């Protein structure tokens, strides 16, 4: 399969709209894990920065981090610099795989921000960012599918949920907060046939996968209504 052709078919307007860039000098801050912790080629942030000509991009993502780890980092940042987000126009969050792999309880839409589960910590991160700067464009991304020894394809962890179910919950929580959700789980097209092409080790994108994901994120950042691309919340629990 020619994945460049697939990408262009899915996102034909990216090349055109990249000429209508976000207003000049937009600054982006990232939170997440190893997928977002460098701004260099071949990681997806490099392609977003290149596509949209963003300036002053900063990442607080750390390899191996869970939502709890990123919440600690965010709390530390806001304690030392309450006006931190005033320096940025766009914020993004991509976590979940490490929560899944370490069997963190998933929680649900009713979870509280004080709850020791993924949903509660996701809510806490969202609330802290949008409270610190209500006008910031916050994009929360769903994790994409994996296939490795530690994270087998479409499998249930010992806490009893899949990455698909986590992605649905993320989209629901984003909807509850009117926060933009980028559905990497669905839009990255990762399955047993495509994972070897897109991921270097079954978890981390190679240059092809990073470019593909970077284009998805770029298109979401450029969406006219700034609502990104929402996941289908009608997905039912199913083993494949």
Residue of higher predicted confidence among 222 and 134: 134
Cα 205 off chain centre by: 13
Average pLDDT score, the chain: 86
Cβ neighbour number for residue 116 with a 10 Å cutoff: 11
Q: Which of 53, 50, 54, 70 is nearest to 141 (CA)?
A: 70
Cα 51 off chain centre by: 17
Mean pLDDT of 25-40: 94
Mean pLDDT of 48-69: 95
What pLDDT digit, counting tens, does each position of 92-134 carry?
A: 999 999 999 999 999 999 999 999 999 999 999 999 999 999 9
Could you tell me the two tokens for 142?
Answer: 């769903």
What is the pLDDT, as a whole number, of residue 63?
A: 96
- Is residue 166 within 8 Å of 188, Cβ to Cβ? no
Residue of higher predicted confidence among 45 and 149: 45
Residue of higher predicted confidence among 18 and 69: 69
What is the pLDDT, as a whole number, of residue 22?
A: 58
What pLDDT digit, counting tens, does each position of 67-76 carry?
A: 999 999 999 9
Most confident of 19-33, 72-86, 190-204: 72-86
Mean pLDDT of 159-173: 95
Mean pLDDT of 168-192: 92
pTM: 0.86
């Amino acid at each position: 399969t020619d994945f460049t052709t697939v990408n262009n078919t899915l996102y034909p307007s990216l090349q055109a709209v990249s000429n209508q860039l976000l207003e000049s000098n937009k600054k982006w801050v990232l939170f997440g894990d190893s997928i977002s912790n460098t701004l260099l080629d071949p990681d997806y942030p490099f392609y977003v920065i290149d596509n949209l000509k963003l300036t002053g991009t900063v990442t607080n993502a750390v390899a191996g981090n869970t939502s709890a780890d990123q919440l600690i980092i965010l709390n530390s940042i806001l304690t030392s610099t309450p006006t931190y987000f005033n320096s940025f126009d766009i914020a993004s969050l991509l976590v979940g795989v490490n929560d899944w792999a370490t069997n963190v309880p998933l929680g649900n839409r009713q979870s509280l921000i004080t709850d020791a589960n993924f949903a509660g910590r996701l809510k806490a991160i969202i609330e802290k960012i949008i409270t610190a700067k209500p006008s910031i464009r916050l994009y929360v991304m769903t994790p994409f599918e994996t296939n490795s020894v530690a994270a087998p394809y479409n499998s249930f962890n010992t806490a009893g949920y899949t990455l698909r179910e986590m992605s649905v919950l993320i989209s629901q929580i984003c909807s509850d907060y009117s926060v933009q959700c980028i559905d990497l789980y669905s839009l990255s097209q990762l399955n047993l046939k495509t994972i070897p092409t897109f991921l270097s080790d079954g978890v981390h994108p190679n240059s092809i996968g990073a470019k593909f994901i970077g284009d998805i994120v770029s298109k979401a950042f450029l969406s006219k209504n700034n609502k990104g691309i929402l996941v289908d919340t009608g997905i039912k629990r199913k083993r494949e």
